Amino acid sequence: MENRVIYTDFNINRPTAYNIQYAEIDGKEVHVEPVARFGGPDSRLRGLAGLRYFHAKQDEFVNIFGGSSFKDKTDTNSAFAELTYAITPKVDITAASRVEREHRRRTGGSNAVRIDFDETYDVFLPKLDLAWKPTDTQTYGAKVARGYNAGGAGITIGTPVVSYTYGSEYVWNYELYSRHHLKDANVILTSNVFYNDYKDMQLPYSLSENSSVIRNADKVETYGAEMGATWQPRWDFELFGNVGLLKTKIKKFSGSGVDGHELARAPAYTANMGAKYQLMAGLELSGNVAFSDSYYSQYDNDSRGRIGSYWSANTQLAYTFAYGRATLYAQNLFDSERRVMVSGNDVYTATQQRPRMIGAALELTF
């Protein structure tokens, strides 16, 4: 039996230059999740069951339309369970499900436009996984699962200025996967092929050049593959690499004019490679480089919003001790300034990669 209790209190201030919209957010979150487990890794029947409660509340002020204030509250209650049964010594079947009720309340706005959103969502999310292990170093499997995102509400920040709501989105995910451990070479190989069938996907819908809302696209499909390899030639050194392939298509989005287009910010190819070196007990130096193929910034697939391929590099030095972990890190090590986003297909408002950032982090465990 275990129980996770998390409390978060946060305050976000987004200062800007004079006469440009700024925001202030003050919020709290409570997360309680007791879980009971039974059976061990070698048990023919094993599993878990649990409950989850999540409460989030935040007050927002955004300097638009003469000042807009919002109150947002979310309460989520769910029960979940997972059972794994060994049909044979080499074949496992896992069935899991989650029953969830989410209540969302969002109110506020300005004298020009207001929101009064109050909705409750009930959802059942099943999952089924079949795994075949011909040897203790190989696994082949097939998995199907359902997911969802709750609906919500918002306000446009350009003309026409309107409030809007949107419904929940749902997805069925189908996946084939494999895992291999080549013990003699100290190599681990992973792969999976996936297909996602979305219903009512939440996508931007343009009302004008500077104004858009969120609406639900009738049908969207994505599919692709992911492959990874990890090689440990010696106990203190590790190399790894991953490749991702992705294809997306908006099959039907009534009235949008983007049927047949690709999703925004969905590169067809991505790659990541790096290394880890254990300098001494508890002290690790690591680094990686990541590649992204070209993609469109917007769902209209306008060439003005097309982003070219780019690389980024990161490194970190971490020390793990009895009660935590201390890290010194550098992100975007070579200070690359490639574009990553063009809002509204306006090339003069392009967002570049975040400048090189050097920082330190300390994590304590009690």
Query: What domains lie within the chain, and their CATH numbers?
Result: 66-263 (2.40.170.20)
* CA dist 169 → 24, 185, 223, 268 (Å): 29, 44, 18, 23
73-84: per-residue pLDDT in tens? 999 999 999 999
Using DSSP bridges, classify how beta strands 306-307 and 295-296 pair: parallel, antiparallel or unpaired: antiparallel
- pLDDT at site 18: 63
Look at 18-22, 110-114, 224-228 and tell me which has the smallest mean pLDDT: 18-22
Higher-pLDDT residue of 17 and 41 is 41
pLDDT band at 178 (very low <50, low <70, confident <90, very high): very high
CB 227: neighbour CB atoms within 10 A?
A: 16
Contact 215, 238 (CB under 8 A): no
pLDDT at 343 > cutoff 90: no
3-state secondary structure labels for all residues of 203-240: EEEEEECCEEEEEEEEEEEEEEEEEEEEEEEECCEEEE
Please name the residue that has the structure tokens 């306000």. Answer: 155
**Closest by CA position to 318, among listed 289, 282, 354:** 282
Mean pLDDT of 283-290: 98
H helices, E strands: number in the chain? 0, 22
- pLDDT at site 241: 98
- pLDDT at site 288: 98
- Rounded to a whole number of angstroms, the distance between the first and last alpha carbons of the chain is 18
Can you tell me the distance from the alpha carbon of 9 to that of 7, in angstroms, rounded to the nearest whole number?
7
**Closest by CA position to 319, among listed 358, 276, 288, 362:** 362
- pLDDT at site 32: 98
299-323: per-residue pLDDT in tens? 999 999 999 999 999 999 999 999 9
